[in-house]
Amino acid sequence: MKNNFIFLSVLAVFFLSGTKLLAQDDSLLKLLNEDKPQKETVKNAFKSPRVINGHSIAFLRPGTMDFRILHRFGQLNLGYKNFFGLDQATMRMGFDFGLSENLMLGIGRSTNRKEVDAFIKYAPLVQATGKKSFPFTVALVSGITVDGMPWADPTQKNYFSSRLGYYFQTIVGRKISEGFTLQLSPTLVRKNLVQLAGNEKDVFSIGVGGRLRLTKRVSINGDYFYVLTPFASTFNQNPLSLGFDIETGGHVFQLHFSNTTGMNERAFITETFGNWSKGEVRFGFNLSRVFQIKKKNID
C-alpha cells in the first residue's frame, strides 16, 4: 500500500511537471511564431488614387466611393485682364469605386470636348513586408473615352466608333520610405480618329510620378509623361504637373500647376499644348471626398 502511494505520488509529480514543461514549450513556440514577421501590405504610398493627372499605385478601400471634382483654369500668361487665367475654367466630375483591396473602377465627364471616360484598375502584385513580401506594386489600368463634340462635317457619314479612344497602362511603383514614393507608367493611347493627317492612332508614352511627404497631412506631388510617338504638329508638349496634396479628414485637396487642359489619359497625353518655358501653365485643383457606401465587415 505504501509502495503504491509512493508510485502514484511520483507519477502525479511527473505528470504535473510534464504538463508545465509542455505549457512552457507551447508558450515558447508561440513567442517564436510571433517573432516571425507576418506579411503586411504597404499602405499610403499616395493619399489619392491619382498622382495629379495620372493614376497612382494607391487604391480606394473596399466599399468606398470617391467623388472627385477636377478644376483647371486658363493660362497664367494671359495676364491680369483675364485674372491670370482664373476667368477661364475646365472641369471634370468623376465617381470612383473601391471594389476590393486591389480593384477599383471609375467614370467621369469633362467639359473639355464634352468627354465621358471610364476606367478599371487592378493590382496583381502589391508591395508588402514580412513573409512572402514583394518589393513593389504592379497595377494595370484600362480606360475608354467618348468624345461628345458635334461632328466637324455632319453632312458626311460619321461613325460612333470614331468618337472612341482607349488607353492601357502598367504602373510599377514602390513606397521607398515613409516619406517618398516613386512610380513608372508605360502607357499606350489608341484613338480611332485623329484630327491631323500624319498623326499616329497609337501613341506610346512613359510616365513618372512621385510623392514627397512634408508633414503627416501635406506632400509634394508631381507627374510627367514623355511621349515617344512623334506628332505631326510642333505644338504638342509633354504634360508636366507639380503641386501639393493636403489631407483634411475625409477630403484630399490637390493644388497644382500644369501645362495641360485635359484630365484623362487620352486628353493630356495626346493634346497638351502648353509650354512651361513660355508661361503657358494653368493653375488647378483636384478635390476628393471619400464616402463609405458599404458597411465594413466586422470579424
CA neighbor of 141 nearest in space, from 274, 266, 291, 260: 266
Whether 110 shows a pLDDT value over 60: the answer reads yes
- Give the whole-angstrom CA distance, residue 193 versus residue 161: 8
Whether the CB-CB separation of 44 and 137 falls below 8 Å is answered with no
Whether the CB-CB separation of 224 and 238 falls below 8 Å is answered with yes
Q: Which of 39-53, 75-89, 113-127, 218-232 has the lowest mean pLDDT?
A: 75-89
CA neighbor of 165 nearest in space, from 191, 193, 195: 191
Which pLDDT score is estimated for 198?
A: 77
Whether 7 shows a pLDDT value over 70: the answer reads no
Q: How far apart are the first and last CA of the chain?
A: 57
CA neighbor of 214 nearest in space, from 55, 40, 47, 70: 47
Per-domain residue ranges of the chain: 45-292
Among 1.20.1300.10, 2.40.160.40, 3.20.20.70, 2.60.40.420, name the CATH number for the domain at 45-292. Answer: 2.40.160.40
- Give the whole-angstrom CA distance, residue 97 versus residue 247: 19
What pLDDT digit, counting tens, does each position of 269-284 carry? 999 999 999 999 999 9
Whether 230 shows a pLDDT value over 90: the answer reads yes
> Please, which residues bridge with residue 248 across strands?
251
The proportion of the chain whose per-residue pLDDT surpasses 90, expressed as a percent, equals 70
Give the DSSP letter of residue 239.
-
Strands (E), the chain: 40-41, 64-75, 89-100, 103-110, 115-125, 128-129, 137-146, 164-177, 180-191, 202-213, 218-227, 240-248, 251-258, 282-292
CA neighbor of 169 nearest in space, from 138, 134, 125: 138
Cell, residue 159: 461613325
Cell numbers 495629379: residue: 52
Span 139-153, mean pLDDT?
Answer: 95
- Give the whole-angstrom CA distance, residue 206 versus residue 114: 26
CA distances from 72 to 76, 254, 294 (A): 11, 11, 32
Which pLDDT score is estimated for 9?
A: 47
- Number of H helices and E strands in the chain, helices first, is 2, 14
Which pLDDT score is estimated for 269?
A: 97
- Give the whole-angstrom CA distance, residue 294 versus residue 233: 48
Which pLDDT score is estimated for 97?
A: 98
Q: Assign 34 a pLDDT band (cuts: 50, 70, 90).
A: low
Q: Which of 58-62, 97-101, 150-154 has the lowest mean pLDDT?
A: 150-154
What pLDDT digit, counting tens, does each position of 169-201 carry? 999 999 999 999 999 999 999 999 887 777 899
Residues 6+ apart with CB under 8 A from 237: 259, 272, 273, 274, 275, 276
- Give the whole-angstrom CA distance, residue 289 versus residue 216: 18
